[in-house]
Structure 1
Amino acid sequence: MTASMQKGTYESIQVLRGVAAILVTLFHAASHAFGSENVFRVGNAGVDIFFIISGFVMWAATARRPPTPGEFLRHRVIRVVPLYYLFTLALLVAWLVLPSAFPHMAAPTAGHVLLSLAFVPHADPAGTAFPLLAQGWTLNFEMFFYLLFALALLLPAARRLRLLAALLLALPLLGLLFPETLLRRAPALGLCNPLLVEFLGGILIARWVERGGRPGAPLGWAAIVLGAAILALAPNPAADNDWARLLLFGVPAFLIVIGALCVETSAKNFRVGPAPLLLGASSYSLYLSHTIVISAAGKVLGGANPLLAATVATTVAVLAAIAVYFAVEKPLLKLLRGSRDPLPRVQVAPL
């Protein structure tokens, strides 16, 4: 076992968090610079990697010493909510002070702001199902998954996996029954989405590792290469087809995550170095802040070459996220967690 595994951590998961956040950042930077989401739509697969990691981490962090549902939810709220609120409210204040700087942003209403802060999917003033901080749509899924996971913690360990599997498979199938007209009237029903299966994929990986699954590094690298090849070569799914996304993004993301864990668990001295670990640690700050930074960088760069503009914007976003991590996120978590931390440090917390 690696030294990090003996302490209950997985460096490969931390690195993949950084990779996932950079993929999403590249997607938005390229979309902004080239004026099209199709230039690097595969960057959206970073979200799918995040969802699988989240399922893995939640199971791994609670398997040996399950917290109460209340303890679990308190821990997740501390991890997710403060920084999300900070960037959401910062965006709101920026719009109030200088609305001309946000020409594509519809005037936020009080209801839109409150529902965004409550992680409730809803139609924004422009009629789309995005919260005020647009990338927060993934956090709506994360918080819904946490609620389902907290419910499962009420059960004995032997039945917990069965309940989660039943819920995370049944809800997407239920979603197939909702007509588009109903989903437009009640966007919260959109949580019955096939992307929930990705959380289950992460849980199954954690369960497999827990039971001693060790196929070795060669198969691990093969899974990583196959997953990356599918992402690179397969057609990108349409933005509104989440079943296709589950196949074309979710399956390769699953292969990449399980492959990385196979590589790590087969090595006695697995080390990745401080820089990749730092990118992983600052991935949440990067995920929340990157669209604001990219927008600001776009205004400064003006009519620069799109490839150069996307590269510069991504680099600046990463550097800004590292600064936010050290100056805001890390001290804020230390302050809020204090000495009461009900979950063992099995993993660094996911997005």
Structure 2
Amino acid sequence: MDFLDGIRGVAIAAVLALHWASWYVPFFHGGSIGVDVFFVLSGFVITTVLWRGTTQWGAFLRRRVVRLYPALLGLVVVSVALYAVTPWAPVGPADVARRGLIALTQTSSAWAATRSGSMWLPGLEPFGQTWSLAVEWYFYALWPLLVLRARAADWSAARLAAVSLAAAAAAYALAVPLPTFAFYFGPVERCAELLVGAALGLWLVDHPPTPRRTRVAPVVALAAVIGYAVIGTDAQTWGYRYVGVPLAVAGAVLLIRAGYAGPGPAQRVLSHRWLTGLGRVSYSLYLWHLLPFVLLADAPLPKPALGLLAVAAAAVLTWASHRLLERPFLRPRSELLRMRRPGRPDPELRPSPAPLA
């Protein structure tokens, strides 16, 4: 499943280009579609694991907390400490601690929607990026209940996939008229992307792709996602809403499915060790990539030196976070590979129709 990490690598690279490079060059404003790709992939992985595993709702939520919160808590603690010892820090450590509490309680998306009218979350720095985690927690709270209930009722995966896809279409239709801020940061449109990924995961259970070489479609999908990230419009434009989002969702679906169908040029690119390595640390990198830039913004150094120092600091913090706060809490890779492969669940993985926890 290295290609899934490769897709994550492409997505986080698009986000980094948006946040790091678009201020200096007239490109990469379309990098926000990396977030869209992440949501589709997250819906796919979570739903596949739910359908194939023996997870009850409470156990699923506990695993999500164990998986996500050590690195998030580390970000908050280290941020408070760094702001306390940095003379030119834009705000004091008490304010950072208050914002960190908002991030830890995963209320950042709803809170920010009432506090900011811009496409960034200045009231939450350096934790503005946690809005996406808040959106995912809305999904985690409801979707697993529906999946597990459908399994207990002996629904087919294809039937639930159809329901998921219909719900995704309805959510996107409801989100399109929303103001720019609510469209981008709110849960409605993001749940549409998560549900598309979920529908794909469920469809592949009953319709596993036959092994074959797939060449043209995934190459076009990969080129389109990268191309939009480089020359596309930012999230405040109609182009993102009507072109960028559908392109990212369709591209992610094609790349995920092609990876299961067989080898090809796009799959080889996505399985490259540099790209898969970037994908494996993408969660920590996403959490930590903004902190050095925000903290060093007013440092008395030339801008090129500040940029290099911030990138180096982000790399070090990402490495430490992944090694110390992520890896100890990850499931064995062999278990994840077993649960993510296409096809019907193994009989021993099917749970009894017990009441949901």
Fold in common (TM above 0.5)? yes
Quick one: structure 1 residues 123 and 220, their matched pair in 2 at CA, closer, same or farther if it must change by over 3 Å? Answer: closer
For residue 264 of structure 1, report the CA deviation from its aligned partner: 5.3
SS in 1 for 2:209: coil
Which moved further from structure 2: 17-26 or 248-257?
248-257
- Are 1:24 and 2:15 counterparts? yes
Residue among 196, 199, 202 paired with 1:204: 199
- Are 1:259 and 2:255 counterparts? yes
What is the match of residue 73 of structure 1? 61
For residue 234 of structure 1, report the CA deviation from its aligned partner: 4.2
CA contact (8 A) 1:107 1:125 kept: no
Aligned pairs, how many?
Answer: 321
Letter paired with 1:225: A
Report the Cα distance in structure 2 between the residues aligned to 1:196 and 1:94, rounded to whole angstroms: 35
- Give runs of aligned pairs for residues 1-351 of structure 1, distance below 5 A: 10-30=1-21, 34=24, 40-98=28-86, 100-102=88-90, 107=95, 110=98, 112-120=99-107, 121-123=109-111, 127-128=115-116, 130=121, 131=124, 133-152=127-146, 153-156=148-151, 157-158=155-156, 160-161=160-161, 164-165=164-165, 167-171=167-171, 191-210=186-205, 211-213=207-209, 216-218=213-215, 219-238=217-236, 244-245=240-241, 247-259=243-255, 261-263=257-259, 265-267=261-263, 272-296=271-295, 302-305=301-304, 310=307, 313-314=310-311, 317-331=314-328, 333=329, 346-347=339-340
CA contact (8 A) 2:40 2:196 kept: yes
CA contact (8 A) 2:44 2:199 kept: yes
CA contact (8 A) 1:49 1:253 kept: yes
For residue 168 of structure 1, report the CA deviation from its aligned partner: 4.2
Quick one: structure 1 residues 105 and 256, their matched pair in 2 at CA, closer, same or farther if it must change by over 3 Å? Answer: farther
Quick one: structure 1 residues 114 and 237, their matched pair in 2 at CA, closer, same or farther if it must change by over 3 Å? Answer: closer
Quick one: structure 1 residues 274 and 323, their matched pair in 2 at CA, closer, same or farther if it must change by over 3 Å? Answer: farther
Quick one: structure 1 residues 195 and 315, their matched pair in 2 at CA, closer, same or farther if it must change by over 3 Å? Answer: same
TM-score, with normalisation over the residues of structure 1? 0.73
What is the match of residue 5 of structure 1? none
Report the Cα distance in structure 2 between the residues aligned to 1:138 and 1:46, rounded to whole angstroms: 12
For residue 41 of structure 1, report the CA deviation from its aligned partner: 2.0
SS in 2 for 1:101: coil
Report the Cα distance in structure 2 between the residues aligned to 1:63 and 1:84, rounded to whole angstroms: 27
TM-score, with normalisation over the residues of structure 2? 0.72
Quick one: structure 1 residues 262 and 344, their matched pair in 2 at CA, closer, same or farther if it must change by over 3 Å? Answer: closer
Quick one: structure 1 residues 315 and 74, their matched pair in 2 at CA, closer, same or farther if it must change by over 3 Å? Answer: same
Identify unmatched segments of 5+ residues in structure 1: 1-9
Which moved further from structure 2: 83-92 or 126-135?
126-135
After superposition, what is the alpha-carbon deviation per residue over 1:57-116, rounded to whole angstroms, capped at 9, x for unaligned? 112222233521112211112111221122123323433554741259994584x54433
CA contact (8 A) 1:84 1:288 kept: yes
Report the Cα distance in structure 2 between the residues aligned to 1:27 and 1:230, rounded to whole angstroms: 12
Report the Cα distance in structure 2 between the residues aligned to 1:309 and 1:249, rounded to whole angstroms: 33
CA RMSD of aligned residues (A): 4.2
CA contact (8 A) 2:161 2:200 kept: no
For residue 53 of structure 1, report the CA deviation from its aligned partner: 0.6
Report the Cα distance in structure 1 between the residues aligned to 2:70 and 2:220, rounded to whole angstroms: 39
Report the Cα distance in structure 2 between the residues aligned to 1:312 and 1:173, rounded to whole angstroms: 43
Which moved further from structure 2: 249-258 or 51-60?
249-258
Report the Cα distance in structure 2 between the residues aligned to 1:345 and 1:297, rounded to whole angstroms: 44
For residue 297 of structure 1, report the CA deviation from its aligned partner: 5.8
Tell me the percent identity.
23
SS in 1 for 2:130: helix
Report the Cα distance in structure 2 between the residues aligned to 1:257 and 1:314, rounded to whole angstroms: 31
CA contact (8 A) 1:20 1:45 kept: yes
